[in-house]
Amino acid sequence: MPDFEEGGAREVTLKINGDDFRILVEPRENLREVLHDRLGFTGTKEMCDRGACGSCTVIMDGRPVVSCMMLAVEAGGHDIETVEDIERKQHPLIETYADHNAMQCGYCTPGFVVTAKALLDRNPDPDEEAIKSALEGNICRCGTYPAHIWAIQAAANRLKTREA
């Protein structure tokens, strides 16, 4: 065990998509940097880097949060879920997003999908208003907003038939 400076860089265990990653992080590193740049979870995108656009959304302990505004040293021990896990578990959102063309350039899409997954976990049958308010923090410069409502409602329907 190296001798770390008090209050400086330290080892944290990040629980990402069910796996533990032990990694040395500096206090100034944010969670998005560590996920994307150091651990290769490249679905967590950087856009505004100020918590205003939602592109870097991850689910932490069931809450959709912007990883660019969270210090990585403070994320240790919490359950972190990225878009990679949503794809790996074949969540219907992945297919319904493609079916409804809910993207144009695609850069903001992972952030939308993660936010939508967090919504469906809490509310399996969201109406249009609930979807709109859950997505208030995600910005798409291509303007694909209406398609997200269709894609999320279709995914909710598939989840219901899957369970039935």
The residues that touch other proteins, with contacts defined as CB under 8 A, are 6-8, 26-28, 30, 49-52, 54, 57, 63-66, 69-71, 73-74, 115, 133-134, 136-137
Is-contact 113 140, C-beta < 8 A?
A: no
Question: What's at 104, amino acid-wise?
Answer: Q
Considering the complex, what minimum distance in angstroms separates the CB of residue 162 from other proteins? Answer: 26
Nearer to other proteins, 115 or 144 (CB): 115
**Residue 29 C-alpha from the chain's centroid:** 18
To the nearest whole angstrom, how small is the minimum distance from the Cβ of residue 33 to other proteins?
10
Closer to other proteins by CB, 69 or 159: give it. Answer: 69
User: For other proteins, which is the closer residue by CB, 98 or 146?
Assistant: 146
We find the least distance from the C-beta atom of residue 65 to other proteins, in angstroms, to be 5
Minimum separation from the CB atom of position 153 to other proteins (A): 18
When the beta carbons of 127 and 160 are compared against other proteins, the nearer one is: 127
